[in-house]
Homo-oligomer: A and B are copies of this chain.
Amino acid sequence: MYQPLTASVFEWPTRVYWEDTDAGGIVFYANYLKFFERARTEWLRSLGLGQQTLRDATGGMFVVTDVQLKYHRPARLDDLLCVTAQVTEWGRASLLLQQQAWLPTREGTSDGQVNSVGRHLLCEGTVRIGWVDATRMRPARLPATVLNALGTPLASLS
């Protein structure tokens, strides 16, 4: 099930703590949206985009407008997840991202040798984030600084 990730996929590690689990013994379903948000924030930070700084400078912010999630396997306490973010569509006022939470696996033989390394897909989703005027919460066009940092095909047009 291991799939090599391409250079355009941003990855961010996230540890599962007690706060993330529920009485079912697994990660509460809403919390994958927290993990995905952390990965999006770190992806933006990796491009030089701090959200508080952006808001102070432009008066705008990203909000999520659509989410689709599939839950494949549960995560548990102490799991160290790899959470991804990858832009799959660029628009003038919104972006579509594909995001996944993976659990790296390492299986050994009886004599202690590692005989396979892989990852299980736990949860995957698509998330649309739109740019809004933070005061009125109205959709707005992405600022040039954001488009440029993202390196979108639209940057030159803005």
Residues of A within 8 A of B (CB-CB), count: 40
**One of A72-80, A99-107, A111-119, A143-151 contacting the partner:** A72-80
**Bound CA–CA A78/B63 (angstroms):** 17
Residues of chain B contacted by A64 (CB below 8 angstroms):
29, 71
A19 surroundings in chain B (CB, below 8 A): 22, 28, 30, 34, 37-38
Closest residue of chain B to A65 (Cβ to Cβ) is: B71
State the copy count for this chain. 4
Can you name the residue of chain B whose Cβ is closest to the Cβ of A31? B30
Q: Among the interface residues A23, A67, A73, which one has the most CB atoms of the partner chain B within 10 A?
A: A23
**Within 8 Å of chain B (Cβ to Cβ): is A52?**
yes
A67 CB, nearest partner CB in chain B, Å: 4
Q: Does A48 have its Cβ within 8 Å of any Cβ on chain B?
A: no
Q: Which of B41, B50, B76 contacts A18 (CB 8 A)?
A: B41
Interface of A is mostly: mixed
Nearest to A134 among chain B residues (CB) is B24
| Contact residue among B18, B26, B34, B76 (Cβ-Cβ distance under 8 Å from A37) | B18
Say yes or no: B65 contacts A78, CB within 8 Å.
no
Complex contacts, A74 vs chain B, CB 8 Å:
63, 137
Quick check: A52 and B65 within 8 Å, CB to CB?
A: no
- Do B26 and A30 touch across chains, with their CB atoms under 8 A apart? no
Interface residues of A (CB under 8 A from B): 15, 17-19, 21-26, 28-31, 33-34, 37-38, 41, 45, 50-52, 61, 63-71, 73-74, 76-78, 134, 137
